[in-house]
Amino acid sequence: MVAEMTSLERVLAMLNRKPVDRVPVITGSTMVKEYIEKSGGVWPDYHSNAEMMINVSGLMHTDAGVDNVVAPFGMFVESIALGLEVKMGKIDIQPSVRSFFKKPEEVNYDNFLEDKFVKNTLDSIKLAKERYPDAAVTAFLVAPITLAGDLMGAENLSVLSIKCLQKEKQMEKMKEWVAVALEINKIYAEACAEAGADLLYYSDASASPNLVMPEFYYEVGVPADKEIGDYSHKLGCPWELHICGDTTPIIEGMAATGADCLSVEQVVNMEEATKIAGDVPVVGNVTPLLMVEGTEEQIIAETRKALDGGAKASMLGCGTPPHSTSDRLKTWVKAATDWSAENL
């Protein structure tokens, strides 16, 4: 029997493939409307105010019982810091990137760390470490292929990803975009590690087989994710890789990146995913919408099904929906705790 652990110890043990007192419950995003309102957060200020951001993220830890505290909200910080247009959304809608560059040479990241949203991430990490030293403070970052897609435009990424598999010249163009993305990734990762992040969570949503061919992920995505992953390890930070959609065809590649943990959506069969991933921990698979409209029985059943399938931590398939309710989040955490008591 493993002695009772703090949330941080529990998450790090899972990432290091060591025994835990119970399976961790982790999340990749924490912009939950109920917690924003409860904490007095004001839109859009909570995207650039560390105090407001951690007031919300902290409730996911102290009220719902999730083991990590995450910053920032959403996948727009890198883009807006580079000068791209971003629609800021609403209290319950995540910001979204609306413009792109025409060529890699246009991307200027000399003053990346001076942007107010980047600074907010770093300040949020520092504040979370001060307030919640026992939680796993997590930086939510955009991974290389997705960031390259934001830089060149998601539709252009899809087209170029096909062309580059057929022509060397197009491959060189793709590699130029990814190289720029990786440089920005490294600057941001280093700053987050220095700020005190315990875990770097990389979302490579646009590397999904729903958007690009698996062959593209193996040829371009795996080396890129591995490069930023190796760099994260060099900084002393474990890292988690999430890719959206049915990632079954690329899980072997995801595992080959050296990620300490793979996060998958609910459309992925957990038992099959864990078998393919080998000794690399797989998490996720719980339908996010259950946190908005699921019954207690549904939440318990899906949580247990993922853990029965071999998940090493309980996690929603793709972020925490803004309209999640605290009672459903608590039911989810309790379901994972109860499963642990019966099975560990």
Evaluate if residue 147 carries a pLDDT over 90.
yes
58-80 confidence digits (pLDDT tens): 999 999 999 999 999 999 999 99
Q: What would the DSSP string read from start to end of 50-116? A: HHHHHHHHHHHHHTS--SEEEESSSS-HHHHHTT--EE--BTTB--EE----SSGGG---TTGGGSH
What's the average model confidence in pLDDT over 49-54? 98
What's this model's pTM, rounded to 2 decimal places? 0.96
Query: d(Cα 212, Cα 28) in Å, to the nearest integer?
Result: 22
Q: Pairing mode, if any, of strands 96-97 and 86-87?
A: antiparallel
Q: What would the DSSP string read from start to end of 5-21? A: --HHHHHHHHHTT---S
Predicted pLDDT at 121? 98
Contact call for residues 207 and 243 (beta carbons, < 8 A): yes
What's the average model confidence in pLDDT over 7-15? 98
What's the average model confidence in pLDDT over 108-119? 98
288-334 confidence digits (pLDDT tens): 999 999 999 999 999 999 999 999 999 999 889 999 999 999 999 99
Query: d(Cα 206, Cα 337) in Å, to the nearest integer?
Result: 33
- Which region, left, alpha or beta, applies to residue 320 given φ > 0 means left and ψ of -120 to 50 means alpha? beta
Query: d(Cα 9, Cα 13) in Å, to the nearest integer?
Result: 6
Predicted pLDDT at 1? 58
Cis bond before residue 281 (omega within 30° of 0):
no
What's the average model confidence in pLDDT over 21-37? 96
Contact call for residues 151 and 194 (beta carbons, < 8 A): no
Contact call for residues 181 and 144 (beta carbons, < 8 A): yes
230-258 confidence digits (pLDDT tens): 999 999 999 999 999 999 999 999 999 99
CB neighbour list of residue 42: distance below 8 Å, 6 or more residues apart: 52
Evaluate if residue 2 carries a pLDDT over 80.
no
Query: d(Cα 268, Cα 259) in Å, to the nearest integer?
Result: 18
Helix (H) or strand (E) holding 305: helix 296-308
Query: d(Cα 158, Cα 140) in Å, to the nearest integer?
Result: 24
Token pair in block for residue 26: 């982790």
Average pLDDT value for the chain:
97
Evaluate if residue 3 carries a pLDDT over 90.
no
What's the average model confidence in pLDDT over 80-99? 96
**Ranges assigned E (strand) in 188-292:** 199-203, 239-242, 261-264, 282-284
